[in-house]
Chain A
Amino acid sequence: MPYYIGDVIKDEKSLVARTPEKFRETGVDVLLENGVEAIDRAQKTVRLADGSAVPYDILVLGTGTEAFVPRVPGVGMEGVFVLKTLPDAIAMKSYLREKQCRKAVIVGAGFIGLEMCEALRNLDIETEVIDLSIRPATRWDPEFSKVMHDEMTRHAVRFSPNTGLTSIEEGNYRRLRLNTTRGEVEADMILLAIGVKPNVQLAADAGLQIGKSGAIQVDFSQRTSDEDVYAVGDCCEVYHRVSRKWTHIPLGDVANKQGRVAGVNIGGGAAIFPGVVGAQSFKLFDLGAAATGIDEAEAKRSGYHPVSTIIWGNAIAHSLPGEKRLGIKLVADRATGMLLGAQAAGVKGAVERINTLSCALWAGMRLEDIAVLDFAYAPPFSTAWDPIHIAARDLMKKI
């Protein structure tokens, strides 16, 4: 959706993978603009907003997440947006087109907020990001946050750290004014991008188990605490293969796989969802950033003995022209030598390294194996000693 708003993707239709008509052709009855009010598990019916009751033998909850909106005055004003659904994106894009926006403020420097920087700068809108934290993208190491901050500066995006939103009012020379813990800033458009929370109210009201993470509890078959009720996607928990905990990681690619597993089981087959290693990535202007597994803090909470290193190498052969600096951070367990997590940032090659290291995490590989892994080497694509090898060897010294 950020690429749609930034006009890289022109037509919202290309964001829809499968239309209601397509579903209807296969005999799936699609009811749009009709919410579910309640689930009656004893009667096995759901009650809709229009008052009707729909009976079920098997029920699936795919209720997703909703954008977290801070409880401060003015968040409902025109020109204040969240970016969660396609209608949100369409509303924001038409507002930006029609209202002559010259300045935007993004509240929250997570990956949605950062992806939106590029979209807004593409539209030539002055952009500022404010965040409660001291740095952007706290999922990543401070060293990578620094690189991201530099990239924002290079593209004329201002970052205001340690800044909390206290209220939104009508502005004097821009449409809106944000009052913050560190002064005022005016803007024509405000995006609230401070995170999402799972929609679990229906499930909780129906007495289904909610997990510690706050999302709906499921098993490896995607069943909830009621064997006739499944849950999939952003509303439910997912098993993290590294921390070995059930957690909440709302990502569309995970939702697709969980949906497939539930569909197989409901359709009479047998499938399990084996969990995730927590791989994620985003693009910030020319920079690619990616992470997988867990960081030191989560490793400690999970009972591991984390050690880590950050190295800066080259994504491609040193002798070739162009920006190629690539940073890799590895986290490993001192007790076993097992890889626990990885992060990367660079103009080239960050995401492919993290995908490789996600496979290593999935397989439970140890640093000594990673340090000699066989990669496809050719100067335009990599270096003879890949930054992954260098980082793994470096971290082995600490074990």
Chain B
Amino acid sequence: MTQEEEGVMEKKLVIIGGGAGGASVAAEARRRDPSLSIAMIEKGKYVSASA
């Protein structure tokens, strides 16, 4: 089944890394596109921590 046939398949954004860069992508992409499916994968315990 293609995306067009199903019609409701959302676009999947996957972000590797929850640092300043990855966290900014997640926040901005979400603001722009409420329908986007967003997953942020972080190997550590924290996201969006400052240096």
Cα A26 to Cα B18 in complex, Å, equals: 15
Q: For A34, give the chain B residue with the smallest CB separation.
A: B41
Please determine whether A1 and B27 come into contact, CB atoms closer than 8 angstroms.
no
Please determine whether A232 and B33 come into contact, CB atoms closer than 8 angstroms.
no
Residues of A130-155 contacting chain B, CB below 8 A: none
Please determine whether B14 and A60 come into contact, CB atoms closer than 8 angstroms.
yes
Contacts of A390 in B (CB 8 A): none
Instruction: Give the secondary structure class of B's interface.
Output: mixed
Contacts of A85 in B (CB 8 A): 44, 46, 49
Q: Does A16 sit at the interface, judged by CB under 8 A?
A: yes
Q: Within the complex, what minimum Cβ distance (angstroms) separates B39 from chain A?
A: 4
The number of chain B residues touching the other chain, given as a range, is 35 or more
Contacts of A359 in B (CB 8 A): none
Q: Does A374 sit at the interface, judged by CB under 8 A?
A: no
Instruction: Give the secondary structure class of A's interface.
Output: mixed
Interface size, chain A (Cβ < 8 Å):
58
Please determine whether A264 and B28 come into contact, CB atoms closer than 8 angstroms.
yes
Cα A49 to Cα B43 in complex, Å, equals: 9
Cα A257 to Cα B27 in complex, Å, equals: 12
Q: Does A207 sit at the interface, judged by CB under 8 A?
A: no
Residues of B7-39 contacting chain A, CB below 8 A: 11-34, 36-39
Q: Known interface pairs A260-B24, A266-B33. Does A58 touch B51 (Cβ–Cβ under 8 Å)?
A: no
Cα A305 to Cα B25 in complex, Å, equals: 39
Q: Does B50 sit at the interface, judged by CB under 8 A?
A: yes
Q: Which of B12, B31, B42 contacts A30 (CB 8 A)?
A: B42
Q: Which of B16, B34, B43 contacts A60 (CB 8 A)?
A: B16
Please determine whether B23 and A259 come into contact, CB atoms closer than 8 angstroms.
yes
Q: Known interface pairs A15-B50, A60-B22. Does A266 touch B13 (Cβ–Cβ under 8 Å)?
A: yes
* A17-25, A177-185, A239-247, A306-314 - interface stretch: A17-25
Q: Within the complex, what minimum Cβ distance (angstroms) separates A60 from chain B?
A: 4
Q: Which of A16, A35, A48, A230 contacts B25 (CB 8 A)?
A: A230
Q: Does A349 sit at the interface, judged by CB under 8 A?
A: no
Q: Does A77 sit at the interface, judged by CB under 8 A?
A: no
Given contacts A60-B14, A86-B46, 17 further A-B contacts (CB under 8 A): A17-B20, A27-B34, A27-B38, A28-B30, A54-B39, A62-B17, A85-B44, A230-B25, A232-B22, A256-B24, A259-B23, A259-B28, A262-B24, A266-B13, A267-B28, A267-B29, A267-B31
